[in-house]
Each structure stands twice: as C-alpha cells, then as structure tokens.
Structure 1
C-alpha cells in the first residue's frame, strides 16, 4: 500500500511514471551538485593539471553518488521497517478493538437476556 504525494494507488501507471521521473530528477540534481562541488574544489587547487582536475572531479562525483545511493537505500530500508512495524501495530490494535467490541456486545446481550428472563419470572 505505497502512496506518495500523488495519492494514486501503487502500481497505477501514472504513479509509477511520476515516481520514476521524480527519482530521475533527484538523481540528476544530485549529480549536478556533486559536479559543481568537485569543480569548486579543483578551482581552489590551481596547481592541478587539466587531466588531474578531470580525474579528481570524476572520482569525487562517483564517490559522492555512491554515498548518496547508500544513504538513500538505508532510508528506504528504514522506511520499510517502520511501515512494517506500524502495519503490525495497527493490526494488533484493530484486533484488540474488535475483541473489546465483541465483549461489550456480549455483555449487553447477556444483560438484555437477564432482564428479559427476570421480567418473565417476576409477577406483575
């Protein structure tokens, strides 16, 4: 039961396309940010040759994207764990509520049956 900001049911083509597009745009923005940071770093190191600056930029961008990927995967994993915990807790609460309602209904029926039986026994 995955729902994003779009409130469309999971698996619906619009939702899947929107999620994939959003993921692509986020990844692209992250890559651009890493590229800018690497270029700023290289600009502060005036002694680097062009080849060294390109190599350092490429290494920085790859490493930064790897770190970002690991952080996002960790976040997704934790979100799934929390979702599972909440679903389990919700199911437990629903079951407890059902039991309480059933016990309450039984108590009401027992009282009604007792009053009915008492009314039938007592003379008027």
Structure 2
C-alpha cells in the first residue's frame, strides 16, 4: 500500500501486516466454525450419543479437521515456493538466452557494418 504518487511510508508495512494478520485470523475462524458445524451435523445423525460423548466427538473432529486444513495449506505454500523457484529459474535461463542472442546479433551487425565500410573504402580508392 503506498500513499501519494507511489511513495512508500513506514506505516505501509505495519498496516499491510496487520491486514494480513486479520485476514488470517478470520480465515482460521471460518474454517473452525465450518468444522464445528460439520461435527455437530455428524453428531446429530447419532442420537444415541450422550451430550458428553457428542462434545468429545465434536472436539476430536474439529481438531482433526483443522490439522488436515493446516497440512493442506502448508503443502500448498511449499508447492507455490517450488513453482516460484522453477519459474524464476526458467526466466533467468530465457533472459540469459535472449541476452546472448542480442550480443550475437549486435556483433553480426558491427561485423557487417565494418565489412561494408571496408568494402566502400576499398572501392573508393
């Protein structure tokens, strides 16, 4: 986030970090609430459970569901980092190849210009 014409202020990092923290908290709460609703729905289909048993099943289900979500997010972050590295490596290789081609082309242009100048000089003699 920048203020006025692209200038960066020290508060930008703080407010961006705070926004990310709030977003992360809200996302985590959403996952937890969803897991709790799923567990309560599961327990409602098992009317023989006592209240204590239903609470225990709910607690275990929510814990397991959140752990699964956390693991999937970690794997996604890891894969994103791998893809980023692959793309950066490919970009560097393409950039290097393009630079090499430009240097080769520039050398060919200089050689042709030099040859044409030499030929013109020889013909003018």
For 1:17 and 1:93, the matched residues in 2 are separated by 38
Correspondence 1:100 to 2:101: yes
Partner in structure 1 of residue 79 of structure 2:
78
Counterpart position of 1:59:
60
Q: What TM-score do you get using the length of structure 2 for normalisation?
A: 0.86
Paired residue total: 115
| CA displacement at 1:20 relative to structure 2 | 2.0
Q: Report what 1:12 is aligned to.
A: 13
Partner of 2:116: 115
Uncovered stretches (5+) of structure 2, i.e. residues with no partner? 1-7
Distance (whole Å) between structure 2 residues aligned to residue 72 and residue 99 of structure 1: 40
Map of 2:5 onto structure 1? none
Deviation at 1:18, TM superposition (A): 2.2
RMSD: 1.6
Distance 1:15 1:104 in 2: 46
Deviation at 1:13, TM superposition (A): 2.7
For 1:69 and 1:102, locate their aligned partners in 2 and report how far apart those are by CA, in whole Å: 49
Partners of 1:17 and 1:84 in 2: CA distance: 27
Q: CA deviation at 1:75?
A: 0.4
Query: After TM superposition, where is structure 1 displaced by more than 3 Å over at least 4 residues in a row?
Result: none
